[in-house]
Amino acid sequence: MSKAILIMDMPKCCSDCHYCNNKNSKNPSCALTNYADGFQGMTLENIHNARQSWCPLVPMPNHAKKDAGMKSYDPNICYGTHTVEITLQQWGYTGHVTQRINGNCKGKTILDFDFECEGENLESDCNLKFHEDCEHDYFTATLKDPEGNTLDVDGYAEDFNNMIVKMEIIDFRKEQA
C-alpha cells in the first residue's frame, strides 16, 4: 500500500487535536486510532494538558520542515540576487536572519556576513532589531525552541556573530536583462 503524510500543527494535548472526539465529555476517543481505552481513568485535566503516549502523531524532524532549498546553482551565471539564511542559536533556541545580496559574486564570498557591518534592512523570524545608542549600538532578538518557548537575547555585534551556527544560500535569482 502506498504511504501518505498529513502535515498539520502538532497539538500540545489531546483536546487541541482535530482528531480527538468528544473531548469535553467523559468518553473521549481518538479518530486516528479508534482508541478510547487509553482515555479510561483519565481526567479531563489530563486530556487538556498533554498528548498521550500512544498518540500516533509524530513531530517532523527539523530538516523536513523547510523545502529542499535550491534545485540548481549555475556556476556560469554570476550577476543576480542571492538570498542567504543565517541561523542564530543559543542552547535549544534558534532564530533566522535573511539577507539579500546583489552583485556578481558566487559561493563562499556571498557567505561573508558580519553583524558589525550590518544593521538595518535584515529580515528575520526572531524579531531582530538594531538599536542605535549614544554610547553603543546593539542588537536584540527573540529566539524560539521547538516547543515555542522563547529566549530574549541582546548584545553587541560580536555577541551576535558568536551565535551564528549556520549560513546557507537558499535562493539565487539571475538579474533579468
pLDDT tens-place string over residues 83-100: 899 999 999 999 999 988
Cell of 3: 504511504
pLDDT above 90: residue 58: no
pLDDT confidence band for 65 (50 / 70 / 90): very low
Cell of 171: 535562493
pTM of the entire predicted model: 0.60
The confidence score (pLDDT) of residue 36 equals: 59
More reliable by pLDDT, 168 or 31: 168
DSSP 8-state assignment for residue 38:
G
Percent of the chain's residues with pLDDT above 70: 82
pLDDT above 80: residue 142: yes
Could you identify the residue written with the cell 551565535? 163
pLDDT confidence band for 120 (50 / 70 / 90): low
Q: What is the mean pLDDT of residues 51-79?
A: 71
pLDDT confidence band for 63 (50 / 70 / 90): very low
The confidence score (pLDDT) of residue 144 equals: 94
Dist. CA 91–CA 101, nearest whole Å? 29
Where in the chain does DSSP place strands (E)?
A: 20-21, 29-30, 80-90, 93-103, 123-124, 129-131, 138-144, 150-155, 164-174
Q: What is the mean pLDDT of residues 51-64?
A: 68
The confidence score (pLDDT) of residue 12 equals: 82
pLDDT above 80: residue 7: no
Kindly give, in sequence order, each residue whose CB lies less than 8 Å from that of residue 115, ignoring residues fewer than 6 positions away: 139, 157, 158, 160, 161
pLDDT above 90: residue 165: yes
Give strand pairing partners of 95. Answer: 88
More reliable by pLDDT, 147 or 134: 147
Residue 157, H or E segment: helix 157-161
